[in-house]
Amino acid sequence: MIHDPTKREDFDSSNIVIFLYKWRKPLFIVMIVALAGSWFFSLPWFITPKFKSTVIMFPASTNSVSKALLTENNQKGEDLMSFGEDEQAEQMMQILNSNKIRDRVITTFNLMEHYGIDSAAMYKYSRLFDEYDRNISFRRTPFMAVQITVYDTDPQVAADIANTIASLLDSTKNDMQHLRAIQGLSIVEEEYRALQSEVYVIVDSLVSIGKLGVNDVEYQSQVMNQQMAIAIMNGNTEAQKALQKRLDILGKYGGIYMSLKNSLEFKTEQLTLLQSRLKEAKVDAQENIPQKFVVSDAYKAEKKSYPIRWLIMLVSTISALFLTIISIMIVEKISLANAQKKFQLGQS
């Protein structure tokens, strides 16, 4: 009976077992070689070990000292002691990823030399920034916190960089806000001085009118009219002339006096409100508050976090076995195709 090599057998689990058993020796050799190779090439000679340090922190809910402490109608979101929410966490992430913090960390720790980058190289900054991004990362946790993760060959340097970045968050954000707060303070101070000058002018005008005998228009007008009526009844012409002269002055300057008085009351209220804003602006421009709540500071790691040798060995071994199995299957497929061709030629 001639065996037809073109006949296909059903593929089931028994075929897999048979296949693995058939090629057990080559697969075993590949597995041993892959294990030994991955173990050897994951030694510190080939992959430099790195240590991991992390800082976990929550953003603060308020950025303004004056709103949190000095404003009477303070809202819950402006509580100095409350944690921030999604918006504040996103702002924190953007600041942590800014070049302001990156450049200060690079300068503080001389990372170009620390990472072994030639300062005369053509693309030194591109390499430096890529190395920075590989070793330093930021992410949000499921609980609205922000985590700073730093890898470095020196465990103490890793911890120092992580803690420094956390502290730079405060100074960087405060510097950004102070620049705006100082501009706001300048505007409020200018408005306050201008309004104060207007009040002084009104007060001087009222004093000048007061020297003419105009102090309380309504009361003076009522009293003088009563006195005029008495003088007319008594036929006292001298008193009538004197009272008429005072009434003329009161009539001439009374309206101006009332207008200035009302304006003074209005501008005094404005000046009081502006004085309160000036006080708040000075606090915002001069005072610093922490922009975060640190939950966990970074510390010097006792053991390396990278590379994970068992994971490298496992992945390398599985990959080697998989590629070997695929290669064997391809070889068998080619052999089967050749056998089919020979069989067909023999039949013809």
| Gyration radius (Cα) of the chain, Å | 43
pLDDT averaged over the chain?
A: 79
Which distant-in-sequence residues (6+ apart) come within 8 Å of 289 by Cβ? Answer: 60, 65, 68, 80, 174
DSSP classification of residue 78: G
Report d(CA 219, CA 227) in Å as an integer.
Answer: 12
| CA–CA distance, 39 with 307 (Å, rounded to integer) | 11
Mean pLDDT of 144-164: 93
pLDDT recorded at residue 336 = 77
Who wins on pLDDT, 190 or 205? 190
Q: What is the pLDDT of residue 120?
A: 85
275: pLDDT confidence band, cut at 50, 70 and 90? confident
Contact between 151 and 158 (Cβ < 8 Å):
yes
Q: Is the pLDDT of residue 72 over 60?
A: no
User: 37-41, 77-81, 144-148: which has the highest mean pLDDT?
Assistant: 144-148
Q: Which two tokens stand for residue 6?
A: 């073109």
If one counts every other C-beta atom within 10 angstroms of the C-beta of residue 123, the result is 10
DSSP-assigned letter for residue 76: G
CA angle 257, 261, 263 (to 5 degrees): 120
In 3-state terms, what secondary structure has residue 120?
Answer: coil
Q: What is the DSSP string of 314-332?
A: HHHHHHHHHHHHHHHHHHH
Q: 162: left (phi > 0), else alpha (psi -120 to 50), else beta?
A: alpha
3-state class of 50 per DSSP? strand
In the block, which residue shows the tokens 């966490």? 89
Distances (CA, A) of 7 to 10, 20, 78, 310: 10, 21, 79, 44
Q: What is the pLDDT of residue 76?
A: 47
The reply to whether the predicted model has a pTM over 0.75 is no
Does pLDDT of 218 surpass 70? no
Domain ranges of the chain: 186-286
Q: What pLDDT, on a 0 to 100 scale, did the predictor assign at position 337? A: 77
Q: How many CB atoms lie within 10 A of CB 151?
A: 19
For residues 298 and 163, is the Cβ–Cβ distance under 8 A? yes
Which comes out higher in pLDDT, residue 8 or 266? 266
Range list of β-strands (E), the chain? 51-59, 136-140, 146-152, 292-296
**245 vs 24 pLDDT, higher one:** 24
Work out the average pLDDT over 162-183: 87
φ, ψ dihedrals at 5, nearest 5°: -70, -10
Nearest to 160, CA basis, from 111, 126, 221: 111
Q: Give mean pLDDT, residues 198-220.
A: 73
List all residues 6 or more positions away from 278 whose beta carbon is below 8 Å from its beta carbon: 185, 188, 189, 192
Residue 1 pLDDT greater than 50, yes or no? no
